[in-house]
Amino acid sequence: MARSRLVEQTPQGMAPFDDLITDSGAVLWSFIRGEQLEFPVILNFLSDVNLGYTFEAVVVEANNVPGQTAKPITIKTGGAQDTLTVRKPIYLSVWDENTAYDTEDVVLYNGIYYKLLSGAGRIEATTPLVDPLWEVTSLNKVYLQFPGTLASDWDQDPVVGIPVYGFFELRVTEPANSILQKTWKPVRGMVEILFSPTEIVADV
């Protein structure tokens, strides 16, 4: 699929554009206010995210207005700009039965990468191939962390039936080299924040 445009328009009678870079289209992250979640993103153009790449994920407040009936199409002047944490997998080389592993540690076993689903200082002789606590993974995956405080400093709050929005983008920059330091922006779109009753009731 071609690179997604924020405003898509093809002039009448013109030949299709030749897009040399493709993506899966714009995303919509939807959250209830106060949710704190993490999502994996596979970067097919990379083999290993731990090779000195720099990751930046941001959410910029959109120009939300009271009673809006459609998603905003502009950013809010002077609005909030939030930077998200991008977590990379922790690769610990070839699996060894005598090594202690923690949750989310990644190892290589028989040419396949595995991550540990749960454990702290876990030592186990059962190989990742048959141990149910190991799951097949890859080294070209990062995890976007959306904090529960996202949108708490936005000018408009979501109300029942009317969410608020921000614009999202992930940027990936390779280490400096002697030719050209390449930068990709593989994921972008909007963040939707929905009304939450538990956010207005005092915690117990």
Does residue 1 carry a pLDDT above 50?
no
Q: Sheet harboring 90-94: ordered strands across?
A: 90-94, 105-109, 112-116, 134-136
- Average pLDDT of the chain is 90
From the list 192, 104, 110, 193, the residue with the least C-alpha distance to 142 is 104
Q: What is the 3-state secondary structure (H, E, C) of 158-202?
A: CECCECEEEEEEEEEECCCCCCCCCEEEEEEEEEEEECCHHHCCC
> Residue 185 corresponds to which amino acid?
K
CA distances from 131 to 86, 101, 112 (A): 28, 13, 14
Cα 84 to chain centroid, rounded = 8
pLDDT digits (tens, 9 = 90+) for 143-179: 999 999 999 999 999 999 999 999 999 999 999 887 8
Two tokens, residue 105: 């540690």
| Residue 32 CB partners (closer than 8 Å, separation 6+) | 193, 194, 195, 196
Across 23-33, average pLDDT: 85
* DSSP 3-state of 59: strand
In the chain, residues under CATH classification 2.60.40 are 28-88+140-204
DSSP code, position 36: -
Across 95-104, average pLDDT: 96
The CATH architecture assigned to 28-88+140-204 reads Sandwich (2.60)
In the chain, residues under CATH classification 2.10.10.20 are 90-138
| End-to-end CA gap in the chain | 48
pLDDT digits (tens, 9 = 90+) for 69-99: 999 999 999 999 999 999 999 899 999 999 9
Across 3-17, average pLDDT: 52
pLDDT digits (tens, 9 = 90+) for 35-60: 999 999 999 999 999 999 999 999 99
Task: For 90-138, give the CATH class.
Answer: mainly beta
pLDDT digits (tens, 9 = 90+) for 107-129: 999 999 999 999 999 999 999 99
